Amino acid sequence: MKKKFLLLSLISLLSINSFAFDDGFDTTDSGFDSAFSDSADFSDNAFVTEDANKLDFEFNGELNLINRIITQGIKNIKDNELNIDDYQKFKTELKVSKANSELKANFLYDSRDEMVKIDEATFRLYYDNYDVLVGKTKLVWGKGDKVHVIDNFNAEDMSDIINPDYLDRKIPENLVQVNYYIGNGNLEFVYAPKTTTTKLADNDLWKTSTQLNLETSLETIATKNLELYSAISNLKNKIYGDNIAENGQVGIRYTNSKNGYDYGISYYHGVEKTASFYMNGSELETSTLSSLSNLPDSAILSTIKNIDIKYKKYDVIGTELSTVLFGINSRAELAYYNIEDSNNQVKSIIGGDKDLALHNINVNVQVKTEYTQNLDNDNFANTLIAKISDKFKNERVLPEIQVVYNIEDKDYMLNNQIEFKVKDDTSFKVMYKIFEGDSGTTFGDFDTNDYLAANFIYKF
């Protein structure tokens, strides 16, 4: 009830304010809700100068001060039962350009890791009708608005599982990219010699119920005796190791524009970014591992020693399209997944956004659908992703409401947010994020993690 009340209150506020102010400004955000946000304001365009030997330097960055109060609901705010999570993120980009080349390096500091890391580092050469990029980077394939089904090269960092921006969740990959330009079209080749795998959460707040159950079972087993402790340690090293699979990745994509339509086709071959468990050639369910502690010690030891970690190979054939239909900025993706030892899948994204005649309101809606072949039940999984935003006070006050709803599981994430642009380079953002659903669902696993957040952002 409290969640419905909060939603209705904010919608009413948005409606009233829409008649009280005049101008607006486009907004960005930083969460799973970031299905609609822009990434850091770093330009990716090639630099060209009349002097081929002249160097051009660019340096910019962004500071984020994030404070979250995990409320577990409105009642806990009144009772002062709060869990405060505060951290800082500082990222910079250095770019050195010449007429036919570009060197770029992004550095990231996250106070939760207490270390500075190279987020991206690439070198690109430009020629008459093609360019070559080599290095560690993040690729995005597809026309979806921060939601994709044909974007497969980069794994995700699930440490803060559903809160960072789409691009921020991506783990950079070492790869080679060749773009060959044919008229208005671009033929793209990508090769990555290895595969970086998904990084699981290490904070209990953001671990899924599946991960928590598995870890609890393994820890229980490890306390039984020294031999089991050693076997469990070896298994955990395989699961939480260096996040690198030896398998390579390869992809080819052709994009073009004609008569107001942007379209593309693509092919990808690689491996799943999360591990599967096998024993004697047969795949094990994660729930089977979680129930090992119920077996005799000898059976547990025999099972663990015979468990093998495998990353399934898969191929993806995809298409993409974007255009303006009836005043709606429309976009779509369709992909067929041929997965080793699994039922194949068909995935799609369809949606668009439109500015309404009422004030500066923009409505953005996308639907993601996954169809799994050869299932008796639950063949479909549909997710609705929607955002309503407005802009007030000469581009300084930016409210928005965002929801991600899994139709079959009936779980959802709701974000109520308002951003204040203090200066062109400085902003302050306040949000209240709500998670709801049954345990074992995407958002239901974080049902007690509702939080109030205040973010300070400075760009230079």
* Least confident stretch, 230-234, 271-275, 384-388: 230-234
- pTM for this model (two decimals): 0.84
pLDDT of 44 strictly over 50: no
Query: What's the confidence (pLDDT) of residue 47?
Result: 41
In whole angstroms, give the CA distance from residue 347 to residue 382: 10
Sheet hosting strand 307-310, strand order edge to edge? 282-284, 276-279, 307-310
Please state, for a pLDDT cut of 70, what percent of the chain lies above it: 86
Cβ–Cβ < 8 Å for 276, 313: no
pLDDT of 76 strictly over 70: no
Query: What's the confidence (pLDDT) of residue 54?
Result: 87
Cβ–Cβ < 8 Å for 217, 236: no
* Cα–Cα nearest to 85, from 111, 64, 66, 110: 66
pLDDT, average across residues 73-80:
55
CA-CA distances (angstroms) from residue 115 to 59, 206, 456, 457? 21, 21, 21, 20
Given pLDDT bands bounded at 50, 70 and 90, which one contains residue 5?
A: very low
Query: What's the confidence (pLDDT) of residue 82?
Result: 67
Query: What's the confidence (pLDDT) of residue 42?
Result: 39
pLDDT of 268 strictly over 80: yes
Lookup result for tokens 């669902």: 441
Query: What's the confidence (pLDDT) of residue 203?
Result: 86
Lookup result for tokens 């820890």: 219
Task: Please give the DSSP secondary-structure letter assigned to residue 157.
Answer: B
pLDDT, average across residues 373-386:
90
In whole angstroms, give the CA distance from residue 349 to residue 16: 33
Query: What's the confidence (pLDDT) of residue 378?
Result: 80
Given pLDDT bands bounded at 50, 70 and 90, which one contains residue 77?
A: low
pLDDT of 270 strictly over 60: yes
pLDDT of 31 strictly over 60: no
Lookup result for tokens 């009936």: 410
In whole angstroms, give the CA distance from residue 292 to residue 232: 11
Query: What's the confidence (pLDDT) of residue 75?
Result: 53
pLDDT, average across residues 418-446:
95
Residue 125: which residues within 8 A CB-CB, separation 6 or more?
100, 101, 131, 132
Query: What's the confidence (pLDDT) of residue 345?
Result: 97
DSSP string for residues in 101-156: EEEEEEEEEETTTTEEEEEEEEEEEE-SSEEEEEEEE----SSSSS--SS--SS-B
pLDDT of 6 strictly over 50: no
Residue 417 exposure: Cα atoms within 13 Å on the Cβ side: 29
Given pLDDT bands bounded at 50, 70 and 90, which one contains residue 273?
A: very high
Phi, psi of 153 (to 5 degrees): -70, -35
Please state, for a pLDDT cut of 90, what percent of the chain lies above it: 63
Cβ–Cβ < 8 Å for 232, 305: no
Query: What's the confidence (pLDDT) of residue 1?
Result: 43
Dig out the tokens for 388 from the structure: 């309503």
Coil/strand/helix, residue 396: coil
Query: What's the confidence (pLDDT) of residue 197?
Result: 94
pLDDT of 34 strictly over 90: no
Cβ–Cβ < 8 Å for 199, 243: yes
Average pLDDT for the chain: 86
Does residue 20 come out as left (phi exceeding 0), alpha (psi in the -120 to 50 range) or beta?
A: alpha
Written as one letter, the residue type at 106 is: N
Given pLDDT bands bounded at 50, 70 and 90, which one contains residue 26?
A: very low
> What would the pLDDT profile of 386-429 be if each residue is shown by its tens digit?
999 999 999 899 999 999 999 999 999 999 999 999 999 999 99
* Least confident stretch, 47-61, 251-265, 285-299, 305-319: 47-61
> What would the pLDDT profile of 348-370 be if each residue is shown by its tens digit?
999 999 999 999 999 999 999 99
> What would the pLDDT profile of 339-351 be if each residue is shown by its tens digit?
999 999 999 999 9
> What would the pLDDT profile of 191-201 be if each residue is shown by its tens digit?
999 999 999 99
Q: Does 398 or 79 have the greater pLDDT score? A: 398
CA-CA distances (angstroms) from residue 210 to 119, 164, 269, 291, 408? 29, 21, 28, 12, 19
